[in-house]
């Protein structure tokens, strides 16, 4: 049972992956190109307060994207999570490896600055599900990505489904819809923004997580890019706010 997890970690050490439009959830249809790859490390720190309960959670993910063809990328990522909860004075903490993530992006259509891609994904239960660090089962997903380029603007739409197999009795069918835009202010400097909605993982809740994100991406030197974003929860099912830093090295 442990062999697939060990294999995923070995692959991770060789070639790891990342979201193309970090600090956004929304992805674009762009690929790295055959033989090219990038290393990315990005973080997420979220804060939420409700009914006297304060929750802080952070996630750091190291990942690499490899171009296996001009229009196909493979990515593997390994997150690490930390969680802290203060329930009216009763504090609890947990941290550790989360589930290993593997994705493939295939851009199957491109014409007149309009392109479409499919993004299937798998996660392997490397995280301790009893501590809330993982699902405890293999999960899968499939997203349809669309990008329209109108320089200096670009627009992206993602529609997706995740089969959220888990041991926590959470909802197993998760639907996602998000839209993003980016604006090239100057060479190497881009402003990004998005809004999104998806199914609530908690079965008992009928409130959909809704959010909006704004951020920037810029090159500090050739082939090294920094990004920073702020996500605001627009519904009670989403954390109050999330800070999203990241760095990318391209090769």
**Is residue 26 within 8 Å of residue 178, measured between CB atoms?**
yes
Nearest to 125 by CA among 114, 137, 141: 137
Which top CATH class is 3-250?
Answer: mainly beta
- The span from the CA of 241 to the CA of 166, in Å, is 26
Examine the pLDDT at 7 and tell me if it is beyond 90.
no
Q: Is the pLDDT of residue 19 over 60?
A: no
Q: Which of 106, 102, 127, 120 is nearest to 12 (CA)?
A: 102
Tokens of 193: 């923004």
pLDDT at 220 over 90: yes
Give Cα separations from 159 to 27, 70, 85, 137, 225 (angstroms): 10, 23, 32, 23, 27
| pLDDT one-digit tens code per residue, 201-213 | 999 999 999 999 9
93 CB-side CA count, 13 A: 3
Query: Within a 13 Å sphere around the CA of 34, how many CA atoms are in the beta-carbon half?
Result: 3
pLDDT digits (tens, 9 = 90+) for 64-107: 999 999 999 999 999 999 999 998 878 999 999 999 999 999 99
Whether the CA torsion 16, 37, 153, 119 is positive or negative: it is negative
User: What is the per-residue pLDDT for 162?
Assistant: 98
pLDDT computed for residue 50 by the predictor: 87
Residue 21 has pLDDT above 70, yes or no: yes
pLDDT digits (tens, 9 = 90+) for 108-164: 999 999 999 999 999 999 999 999 999 999 999 999 999 999 999 999 999 999 999
C-beta neighbour count of 78 within 10 angstroms: 22
pTM over 0.85: yes
Confidence of residue 3 (pLDDT cuts 50, 70, 90): very low
The answer to whether the beta carbons of residues 21 and 182 sit under 8 Å apart is yes
pLDDT value at position 87? 87
- pLDDT for 173 equals 97
Q: For 51-62, how does the pLDDT look when each residue is reduced to its tens digit (9 = 90+)?
A: 889 999 999 999
Q: Contact, 58 vs 45, CB < 8 A?
A: yes
| Cα Rg of the chain (Å, integer) | 18
Q: Output the six-digit token pair for 224.
A: 């090294």
Domain ranges of the chain: 3-250
- CA distances 109 to 29, 146, 148, Å, are 9, 10, 12
| pLDDT greater than 90 at residue 5 | no
The predicted model gives 10-26 an average pLDDT of: 56
Tokens of 239: 């954390």
Query: How would you write 102-148 as a 3-class SS string?
Result: EEEEEEEEEECCEEEEEEEEEEECCCCHHHCCCCCCCEEEEEEEEEE
């Amino acid at each position: 049972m442990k062999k697939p997890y060990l294999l995923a970690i070995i692959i991770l050490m060789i070639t790891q992956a990342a979201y193309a439009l970090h600090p956004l959830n929304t992805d674009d249809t762009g690929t790295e190109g055959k033989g090219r790859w990038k290393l990315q490390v990005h973080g997420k720190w979220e804060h939420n307060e409700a009914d006297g309960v304060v929750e802080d959670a952070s996630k750091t993910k190291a990942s690499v994207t490899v171009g296996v063809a001009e229009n196909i990328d493979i990515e593997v990522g390994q997150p690490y999570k930390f969680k802290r909860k203060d329930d009216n004075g009763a504090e609890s903490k947990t941290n550790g490896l989360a589930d290993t993530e593997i994705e493939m992006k295939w851009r199957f259509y491109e014409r007149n600055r309009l392109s479409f891609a499919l993004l299937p994904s798998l996660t392997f239960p490397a995280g301790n599900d009893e501590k809330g660090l993982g699902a405890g089962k293999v999960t899968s997903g499939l997203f349809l990505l669309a990008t329209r380029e109108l320089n200096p603007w670009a627009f992206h739409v993602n529609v997706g489904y995740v089969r959220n197999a888990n041991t926590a009795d959470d909802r197993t069918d998760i639907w996602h819809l998000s839209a993003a835009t980016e604006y090239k202010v100057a060479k190497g400097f881009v402003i990004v923004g998005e809004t999104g909605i998806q199914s609530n993982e908690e079965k008992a809740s009928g409130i959909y997580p809704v959010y909006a994100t704004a951020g920037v991406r810029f090159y500090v030197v050739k082939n090294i890019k920094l990004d920073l974003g702020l996500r605001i929860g627009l519904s009670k099912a989403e954390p109050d706010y999330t800070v999203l830093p990241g760095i990318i090295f391209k090769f």
